[in-house]
Amino acid sequence: MVTAGRSIPTPSTLRRVAHWCLDLVVTLLRYVVQRIPTYRRDRQQDPGEPPDFERDLPGDPATLQRPDAGIGPLYHRSYWVFVTDETLSGEELISLILEGPNQVTPTEMASFETFSGEPAHDLQVGDELIVRLPGPWDGPVRVIERTPTSFRFATLQGHMEAGEIEFRTTTDARGFLEFRIESWARSGDPLFDLLYGRFVIGREVQMHMWAQFCRRVAAVSGGVRMSNTASTTRRFEPDQ
Protein backbone atom coordinates (compact mmCIF):
# COMPACT_ATOMS: atom_id res chain seq x y z
CA MET A 1 0.00 0.00 0.00
CA VAL A 2 1.24 3.50 -0.87
CA THR A 3 -0.11 6.74 0.63
CA ALA A 4 0.94 10.18 -0.62
CA GLY A 5 3.95 8.69 -2.31
CA ARG A 6 5.27 7.03 0.85
CA SER A 7 5.36 3.29 1.51
CA ILE A 8 3.58 2.11 4.62
CA PRO A 9 6.00 0.10 6.80
CA THR A 10 5.27 -3.59 6.59
CA PRO A 11 4.70 -5.59 9.79
CA SER A 12 8.17 -7.08 9.43
CA THR A 13 9.67 -3.58 9.29
CA LEU A 14 7.69 -2.52 12.35
CA ARG A 15 8.80 -5.62 14.21
CA ARG A 16 12.39 -4.88 13.22
CA VAL A 17 12.16 -1.32 14.60
CA ALA A 18 10.57 -2.61 17.82
CA HIS A 19 13.33 -5.20 18.08
CA TRP A 20 15.97 -2.50 17.59
CA CYS A 21 14.43 -0.36 20.32
CA LEU A 22 14.11 -3.24 22.79
CA ASP A 23 17.66 -4.47 22.19
CA LEU A 24 19.02 -0.95 22.52
CA VAL A 25 17.29 -0.50 25.88
CA VAL A 26 18.55 -3.89 27.10
CA THR A 27 22.07 -3.08 25.89
CA LEU A 28 22.16 0.26 27.67
CA LEU A 29 20.71 -1.20 30.88
CA ARG A 30 23.27 -4.01 30.90
CA TYR A 31 26.03 -1.52 30.21
CA VAL A 32 24.96 0.53 33.24
CA VAL A 33 24.11 -2.33 35.61
CA GLN A 34 26.50 -5.08 34.51
CA ARG A 35 29.46 -3.14 33.20
CA ILE A 36 32.39 -5.46 32.53
CA PRO A 37 35.55 -4.33 34.35
CA THR A 38 38.09 -3.52 31.66
CA TYR A 39 41.70 -2.47 32.12
CA ARG A 40 42.31 0.33 29.63
CA ARG A 41 45.82 0.73 28.31
CA ASP A 42 45.41 3.57 25.84
CA ARG A 43 49.00 4.70 26.38
CA GLN A 44 50.50 1.63 24.78
CA GLN A 45 53.63 2.79 22.96
CA ASP A 46 53.68 0.53 19.92
CA PRO A 47 50.36 0.53 18.05
CA GLY A 48 51.58 -2.10 15.59
CA GLU A 49 51.26 -2.01 11.83
CA PRO A 50 47.89 -1.97 10.06
CA PRO A 51 47.17 -4.61 7.44
CA ASP A 52 47.65 -3.74 3.78
CA PHE A 53 44.21 -2.37 2.98
CA GLU A 54 44.96 -2.39 -0.75
CA ARG A 55 45.74 -6.12 -0.97
CA ASP A 56 43.54 -8.52 -2.89
CA LEU A 57 40.91 -10.18 -0.72
CA PRO A 58 38.61 -13.15 -1.31
CA GLY A 59 35.24 -12.44 -2.88
CA ASP A 60 33.81 -9.56 -4.85
CA PRO A 61 35.96 -6.45 -4.29
CA ALA A 62 33.07 -4.17 -5.31
CA THR A 63 31.07 -5.02 -2.18
CA LEU A 64 33.91 -4.43 0.29
CA GLN A 65 33.87 -1.32 2.46
CA ARG A 66 37.56 -0.56 2.90
CA PRO A 67 38.87 2.20 5.18
CA ASP A 68 39.28 4.65 2.30
CA ALA A 69 35.47 4.53 1.92
CA GLY A 70 34.99 5.55 5.56
CA ILE A 71 35.07 8.94 7.22
CA GLY A 72 36.95 10.41 10.16
CA PRO A 73 39.99 9.00 11.97
CA LEU A 74 41.30 5.46 11.64
CA TYR A 75 40.90 3.64 14.97
CA HIS A 76 43.13 0.79 16.05
CA ARG A 77 41.40 -1.15 18.83
CA SER A 78 42.47 -4.24 20.74
CA TYR A 79 40.72 -6.28 23.44
CA TRP A 80 42.36 -9.26 25.09
CA VAL A 81 42.24 -11.68 27.99
CA PHE A 82 44.63 -14.30 29.41
CA VAL A 83 43.69 -17.75 30.72
CA THR A 84 45.63 -20.65 32.15
CA ASP A 85 44.92 -24.34 32.76
CA GLU A 86 42.57 -24.29 29.78
CA THR A 87 41.07 -27.52 28.50
CA LEU A 88 40.85 -26.27 24.91
CA SER A 89 43.97 -25.38 22.95
CA GLY A 90 44.16 -22.14 21.00
CA GLU A 91 43.38 -24.02 17.80
CA GLU A 92 40.37 -25.74 19.37
CA LEU A 93 39.10 -22.45 20.75
CA ILE A 94 39.20 -20.76 17.35
CA SER A 95 37.49 -23.78 15.78
CA LEU A 96 34.73 -23.61 18.40
CA ILE A 97 34.10 -19.92 17.70
CA LEU A 98 34.02 -20.48 13.94
CA GLU A 99 31.64 -23.40 14.37
CA GLY A 100 29.10 -21.10 16.05
CA PRO A 101 30.12 -17.53 16.98
CA ASN A 102 26.87 -16.91 18.85
CA GLN A 103 28.09 -19.38 21.49
CA VAL A 104 30.37 -16.67 22.85
CA THR A 105 28.57 -13.52 21.67
CA PRO A 106 26.36 -11.43 24.01
CA THR A 107 23.39 -11.91 21.70
CA GLU A 108 21.31 -9.12 23.21
CA MET A 109 23.99 -6.81 21.81
CA ALA A 110 25.00 -8.65 18.64
CA SER A 111 24.29 -11.88 16.82
CA PHE A 112 25.89 -13.49 13.78
CA GLU A 113 23.52 -14.54 11.00
CA THR A 114 23.76 -15.68 7.41
CA PHE A 115 22.14 -13.51 4.76
CA SER A 116 19.25 -15.98 4.77
CA GLY A 117 18.60 -15.31 8.45
CA GLU A 118 20.05 -18.53 9.91
CA PRO A 119 22.54 -18.49 12.80
CA ALA A 120 26.08 -18.39 11.43
CA HIS A 121 28.03 -21.63 11.70
CA ASP A 122 31.10 -23.39 10.30
CA LEU A 123 32.57 -20.17 8.90
CA GLN A 124 34.90 -20.52 5.93
CA VAL A 125 36.94 -18.04 3.90
CA GLY A 126 34.61 -16.23 1.53
CA ASP A 127 31.49 -16.65 3.69
CA GLU A 128 29.40 -13.51 4.13
CA LEU A 129 27.26 -12.86 7.17
CA ILE A 130 25.46 -10.10 9.01
CA VAL A 131 26.19 -9.04 12.56
CA ARG A 132 22.78 -7.96 13.84
CA LEU A 133 23.06 -4.99 16.18
CA PRO A 134 20.66 -2.87 18.23
CA GLY A 135 19.86 0.44 16.59
CA PRO A 136 19.75 1.46 12.93
CA TRP A 137 22.80 -0.52 11.80
CA ASP A 138 23.65 -4.04 10.79
CA GLY A 139 27.20 -5.21 10.25
CA PRO A 140 27.67 -7.18 7.02
CA VAL A 141 31.11 -8.80 6.89
CA ARG A 142 33.06 -11.36 4.88
CA VAL A 143 35.49 -13.96 6.21
CA ILE A 144 38.75 -13.06 4.47
CA GLU A 145 41.22 -15.21 6.38
CA ARG A 146 41.22 -18.36 8.46
CA THR A 147 44.24 -20.04 10.07
CA PRO A 148 44.44 -22.66 12.85
CA THR A 149 44.74 -19.89 15.45
CA SER A 150 42.93 -16.90 13.90
CA PHE A 151 40.28 -15.59 11.57
CA ARG A 152 39.58 -12.18 10.08
CA PHE A 153 36.54 -10.28 8.81
CA ALA A 154 36.40 -7.38 6.34
CA THR A 155 33.45 -5.00 6.38
CA LEU A 156 31.01 -4.91 3.48
CA GLN A 157 28.96 -2.02 2.13
CA GLY A 158 26.35 -0.87 4.65
CA HIS A 159 28.48 -1.66 7.70
CA MET A 160 28.72 1.09 10.33
CA GLU A 161 32.52 0.83 10.07
CA ALA A 162 35.00 0.46 7.24
CA GLY A 163 37.94 -1.82 7.91
CA GLU A 164 38.97 -5.22 9.25
CA ILE A 165 38.82 -7.13 12.52
CA GLU A 166 40.87 -10.17 13.57
CA PHE A 167 40.29 -12.76 16.31
CA ARG A 168 43.32 -14.82 17.37
CA THR A 169 44.91 -16.93 20.07
CA THR A 170 48.58 -17.05 21.07
CA THR A 171 50.59 -18.44 23.98
CA ASP A 172 52.88 -16.06 25.84
CA ALA A 173 56.24 -16.72 27.52
CA ARG A 174 54.50 -17.67 30.78
CA GLY A 175 52.48 -20.35 29.03
CA PHE A 176 49.23 -18.38 29.34
CA LEU A 177 46.76 -18.53 26.49
CA GLU A 178 45.86 -15.11 25.12
CA PHE A 179 42.68 -14.43 23.18
CA ARG A 180 42.76 -11.11 21.34
CA ILE A 181 40.40 -9.11 19.12
CA GLU A 182 42.10 -6.45 17.01
CA SER A 183 40.49 -4.04 14.57
CA TRP A 184 41.57 -1.27 12.23
CA ALA A 185 38.59 0.76 11.01
CA ARG A 186 37.08 4.14 10.25
CA SER A 187 33.44 5.12 10.73
CA GLY A 188 31.20 4.01 7.90
CA ASP A 189 28.82 6.98 8.01
CA PRO A 190 28.49 10.44 9.62
CA LEU A 191 26.07 9.30 12.35
CA PHE A 192 28.36 6.58 13.63
CA ASP A 193 31.32 8.96 13.42
CA LEU A 194 29.35 11.36 15.62
CA LEU A 195 28.37 8.71 18.17
CA TYR A 196 31.83 7.16 18.29
CA GLY A 197 34.07 10.18 17.89
CA ARG A 198 32.10 12.96 19.59
CA PHE A 199 30.16 11.12 22.26
CA VAL A 200 31.21 8.42 24.72
CA ILE A 201 28.30 6.04 24.24
CA GLY A 202 29.34 4.54 20.89
CA ARG A 203 32.81 3.43 21.92
CA GLU A 204 31.74 2.49 25.45
CA VAL A 205 29.00 0.14 24.27
CA GLN A 206 31.33 -1.33 21.66
CA MET A 207 34.02 -1.95 24.28
CA HIS A 208 31.45 -3.49 26.64
CA MET A 209 30.34 -5.89 23.89
CA TRP A 210 33.84 -7.09 23.00
CA ALA A 211 34.83 -7.31 26.69
CA GLN A 212 31.89 -9.67 27.21
CA PHE A 213 32.93 -11.64 24.13
CA CYS A 214 36.47 -12.05 25.55
CA ARG A 215 35.17 -13.17 28.94
CA ARG A 216 32.89 -15.75 27.33
CA VAL A 217 35.75 -17.09 25.25
CA ALA A 218 37.80 -17.40 28.43
CA ALA A 219 34.93 -19.28 30.07
CA VAL A 220 34.44 -21.80 27.25
CA SER A 221 38.20 -22.44 27.17
CA GLY A 222 37.73 -24.32 30.45
CA GLY A 223 40.61 -22.41 32.00
CA VAL A 224 41.10 -19.84 34.73
CA ARG A 225 40.88 -16.24 33.64
CA MET A 226 44.02 -14.49 34.84
CA SER A 227 42.73 -10.92 34.62
CA ASN A 228 39.90 -8.71 33.51
CA THR A 229 39.72 -7.95 29.83
CA ALA A 230 42.21 -5.26 28.78
CA SER A 231 41.82 -2.84 25.89
CA THR A 232 43.63 -0.18 23.92
CA THR A 233 42.33 2.42 21.50
CA ARG A 234 44.61 4.42 19.24
CA ARG A 235 43.39 7.14 16.94
CA PHE A 236 45.08 8.13 13.68
CA GLU A 237 43.95 11.24 11.84
CA PRO A 238 43.57 10.94 8.04
CA ASP A 239 46.75 12.90 7.39
CA GLN A 240 48.95 10.76 9.67
pLDDT for residue 39: 54
Angle at 113 between CA 34 and CA 184, to 5 degrees: 70
Handedness of CA 152, 155, 156, 159 (dihedral sign): positive
Domain count, the chain: 1
Backbone angles phi, psi at 36, to 5 degrees: -80, 120
Sequence-separated (6 or more) residues with CB below 8 Å from residue 141 = 128, 129, 130, 131, 153, 154, 155, 156, 159, 165
Within-domain flag for 149 = yes
Within-domain flag for 54 = no
3-class DSSP state of 214: helix
Scanning 34-103, the segments in alpha helix (DSSP H) are: 90-99
pLDDT for residue 210: 92
Within-domain flag for 55 = no
Within-domain flag for 167 = yes
pLDDT for residue 5: 39
Residue 62, Cα to own-chain centre: how many angstroms?
22
pLDDT in tens, 23-45: 555 555 555 555 556 655 655 55
Shortest CA distance to 234 belongs to which of 23, 103, 69, 47?
A: 47
Shortest CA distance to 117 belongs to which of 21, 12, 208, 218?
A: 12
Give the domain CATH number at 186.
3.30.530.20
Within-domain flag for 85 = yes
pLDDT for residue 8: 32
Contact 192, 99 (CB under 8 A): no
For each of the chain's 240 residues, which pLDDT tens digit applies? Answer: 333 333 433 444 445 445 545 555 555 555 555 555 665 565 555 557 889 999 999 999 999 999 999 999 999 999 999 999 999 999 999 999 999 999 999 988 889 999 998 999 999 999 999 998 876 778 999 999 999 999 999 999 999 999 999 999 999 999 999 999 999 999 998 888 887 777 766 677 788 889 999 999 999 999 999 988 999 989 888 765
pTM of the predicted model as reported, rounded to 2 decimal places: 0.82
pLDDT for residue 41: 62
Range of the domain at 197: 8-45+60-236
